[in-house]
Amino acid sequence: MIKELREQFNRDFNDEIFSSFLRRLDDRVRLKIQFRVCETPLFVPKHVQQTCEETAVELALRLHEPEYLALSDRTLHPKIEVAGQPDHASFIAVDFAMTYDTENRIKPMLVEIQGFPSLMGYQLFLAELAQEHFALSPDLEYINGGNTRPQFIDLLRRTVVAHHDPENVILMDFNPWHQKTCPDFYAIKELLGIEVIDIRHIVKQGKHLFYKNENGSLIPISRIFNRSIVDELEREQVAIPFNWNDDLYVEWAGHPNWFFRISKFSSPYLDHPLVPSSWFLHELDEYPEPLDRYVLKPLFSFAGSGVIIGPTRDDLDAIPEDKRSNYLLQERIDFAGVVDTPYGGTRAEFRVMLLWPPEDEQPRPVMGLMRMGRGDKMGVDQNTDMRWIGASCNFFPPE
């Protein structure tokens, strides 16, 4: 996307350099990464980066307005509505497709916005290693929002740990070291000094939660950095030591309710030039035509599961009446082949990660993540058997 940087990177690239990079990356996070890492970072023009950051913050703020929050109440199911919801989400990930406008200029378009944390720690380690290993200019930036590394760590600490002792803050997921996201768990553990705990191993005593440290001692939990997806645990019938709607003496960094409130459900309420049109399926009296220009999405799936690109009338009619409110029909986005690779023009998606510490007035862009692909879907699970595709980091020029 930045011609001279792209040409230089492609010219200098070879498979041996990349294989060495992957080995070093595994060493950096002390485990074998289970998703495909792309051969190249994304070089993002400054104006594109700024547009994505500003739009991400604007949309996040809109989704905290009282009118929208009242509408989003219907996303919370009584069985899994969690007590103690704070005034705002702690983490918001905003994905933009790289497209071309009518004058062949790069135009970001919103793919999805989610009130859930992404791989902030891992992306920091990835970008730092990529800059050094590929001998990229030290002037290139990879931390968003104009933040320095210490400022990013401070924002991360204020969001995750807040005012607590790190010993009393945990990162919580189901079977965490077997999740594909576990490289980020290691990075967060290193950066913040908090423990990574399996949700099944938490101990509940009255209204208090505890975890066992390596010596077997029970340590009180004051704040949870939540990486578990509530409805997935319910669907898989994972037995956990507390009920989601228990009144507990614990704070949440990444309160589970925000995963539902800020989600695909939000899209029809976002009137913005960079947001494609979308409708809840149950509200459509007639289907828009032609349907191959639309995408059917279940509201609360993760990692692209259940998405149908170019659904047929039979696909739409097959959804039962009582399930139709849980589906979205969205205008299809034409990803452009904005990245020149040895395998031709490749599509790119740019994620802006926002942090919102408890005491701050608005969220801050801090880190980016890019995904490249040549298939219909951009998720890492859908781009596994090709070259120069997958997940990587972003670099952009300084001011």
Domain parsing of the chain, residue ranges: 3-276+346-395, 277-332
Higher-pLDDT residue of 303, 335: 335
Exposed/middle/buried for residue 40 (C-beta within 10 Å: 0-12, 13-18, 19+): buried
Contacts (Cβ under 8 Å, ≥6 apart) of 292: 310, 332
Q: Tell me, what's the pLDDT at 299? A: 86
Q: Tell me, what's the pLDDT at 386? A: 85
Q: In what order do the strands lie in the sheet with 169-173?
A: 195-198, 169-173, 223-226, 251-253
Q: Tell me, what's the pLDDT at 226? A: 98
- Pair of tokens at residue 107: 């135009």
Q: Work out the mean pLDDT of the chain and round it to a whole number.
A: 94
**Backbone region of residue 125 per phi and psi (left: phi > 0; alpha: psi in -120 to 50; beta: other values):** alpha
**CB of 42 within 8 A of CB of 1?**
yes
* 3-class state of residue 239 by DSSP: coil
Nearest residue to 366 (alpha-carbon basis) of 142, 190, 187, 191: 142
Q: Tell me, what's the pLDDT at 381? A: 56
Exposed/middle/buried for residue 216 (C-beta within 10 Å: 0-12, 13-18, 19+): exposed
Task: End-to-end CA distance of the chain: give it in Å, rounded.
Answer: 17
| CATH architecture of the domain covering 277-332 | 2-Layer Sandwich (3.30)
Q: Tell me, what's the pLDDT at 306? A: 82
What is the radius of gyration, based on Cα positions, of the chain?
21
Q: Where residue 55 falls among pLDDT bands split at 50, 70, 90?
A: very high
Would the pLDDT of 215 be above 60?
A: yes
Q: Tell me, what's the pLDDT at 379? A: 56
CA-based torsion, 245, 324, 65, 231: positive or negative = positive
Would the pLDDT of 85 be above 80?
A: yes
Q: Tell me, what's the pLDDT at 23? A: 98
Q: Tell me, what's the pLDDT at 169? A: 99
- Pair of tokens at residue 308: 């149908």
State pTM to two decimals. 0.94
